[in-house]
């Protein structure tokens, strides 16, 4: 049983990502496929002094290095911890490095996870149907299937299959509806206004995040979350005029 309670004070926790970057990058794109493999593209500007371009760690294949005309470029490639480096000489034109990556995204319970670490702004293209991703525990909506990570050191997690549940509370007015997004199965949601509790039965969903849109007209924050009677960590998400999001983890 998951319960959301109104309380006098709750410390809000937000996800943060380390700043930083590699100045020679024009762009860095990572396309995550449904099977957990990825395709990586580095596009570099021309550089004034020699640099070593490091790959994203993982199992690499299909490596290509080419110039702006699409012509293959022969550059020295050396091994580095968990990957490889390309020695790029000082030159006005840029180069592009592409490769496939396996073994980076793992399946943990009902979620895919990737401890991604690379000191450059990265644009992720997520598998089709992914509407929400958790970054260092915080939920990020990705309705267009894209997510931009700035100078990126982050634990990325997204559900194998996310379910969205909507419940009509207190007469069913739009401002009184509760929404729950999770990989788990939810049933029996309801409101006890006398004690200020919204509760729901959570079944399965190993390591599942539970994101709850709480109708503020029925239950004013701040909030606490409890699972089977024990308080669990929860963080405040975005809110609008009618609803506040609360993010918690049901297991793992």
At 5-22, the pLDDT tens digits run 543 322 222 222 222 234
User: Would you state the pLDDT for residue 13?
Assistant: 27
Q: Which pLDDT tens digit goes with each residue over 83-116?
A: 898 888 887 678 899 999 998 899 877 888 999 9
**Quick one: 157 and 225 in the same domain?**
yes
- Which of 87, 104, 121 marks a domain boundary? 104
**Quick one: 85 and 173 in the same domain?**
no
Number of domains in the chain: 2
Inter-residue contact 51 to 88 (CB < 8 Å) = yes
Inter-residue contact 225 to 4 (CB < 8 Å) = yes
Stronger pLDDT, 203 or 44, i.e. the higher one: 44
- Which of 104, 128, 146 marks a domain boundary? 104
Its domain, for residue 173, covers 1-22+107-252
- Which of 48, 78, 104 marks a domain boundary? 104
Provide the token pair at 130.
């992914």
Residue 76 within a domain = yes
Residue 70 within a domain = yes
**Quick one: 8 and 58 in the same domain?**
no
Residue 2 and residue 246: Cα distance in Å, rounded?
12
pLDDT band at 41 (very low <50, low <70, confident <90, very high): very high
pTM: 0.76
Residue 30 within a domain = no
Give the CA count within 13 Å in the CB-facing half-sphere of 8.
0
Q: Which pLDDT tens digit goes with each residue over 176-208?
A: 888 888 888 888 777 777 777 888 888 776 668
Stronger pLDDT, 124 or 81, i.e. the higher one: 124
The per-residue pLDDT of the chain, averaged, comes to 80
Residue 111 within a domain = yes
User: Would you state the pLDDT for residue 43?
Assistant: 92
Which span out of 31-40, 143-152, 161-170, 212-221 was modeled with the highest average pLDDT? 31-40
* Cα distances (Å, whole numbers) of residue 73 to 25, 70, 81, 90, 94: 18, 9, 24, 14, 11
User: Would you state the pLDDT for residue 1?
Assistant: 53
**Quick one: 118 and 163 in the same domain?**
yes
**Quick one: 246 and 144 in the same domain?**
yes
């Amino acid at each position: 049983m998951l319960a959301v309670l109104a309380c006098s004070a709750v410390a809000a926790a937000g996800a943060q990502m380390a700043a930083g970057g590699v100045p020679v990058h024009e762009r860095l794109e990572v396309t995550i496929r449904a099977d957990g493999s990825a395709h990586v593209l580095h596009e570099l500007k021309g550089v004034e002094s020699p640099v070593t371009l490091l790959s994203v760690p993982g199992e690499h294949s299909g490596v290509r290095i080419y110039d702006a005309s699409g012509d293959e470029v022969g550059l020295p490639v050396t091994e580095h911890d968990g990957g490889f480096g390309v020695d790029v000489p000082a030159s006005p034109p840029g180069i592009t490095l592409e490769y496939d990556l396996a073994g980076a995204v793992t399946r943990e319970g009902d979620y895919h996870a990737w401890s991604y670490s690379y000191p450059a702004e990265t644009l992720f293209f997520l598998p089709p149907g992914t509407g929400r991703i958790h970054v260092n525990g915080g939920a990020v909506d990705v309705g267009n299937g894209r997510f931009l990570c700035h100078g990126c050191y982050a634990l990325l997690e997204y559900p194998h299959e996310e379910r969205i549940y909507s419940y009509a509370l207190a007469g069913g007015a739009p401002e009184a509806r509760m929404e729950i997004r999770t990989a788990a199965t939810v049933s029996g949601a309801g409101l006890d206004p006398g004690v200020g509790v919204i509760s729901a039965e959570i079944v399965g969903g190993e390591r599942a995040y539970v994101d709850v849109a709480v109708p503020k007209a029925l239950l004013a924050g701040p909030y606490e979350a409890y699972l089977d009677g024990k308080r669990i960590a929860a963080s405040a998400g975005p809110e609008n005029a009618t609803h506040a999001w609360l993010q918690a983890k049901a297991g793992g």
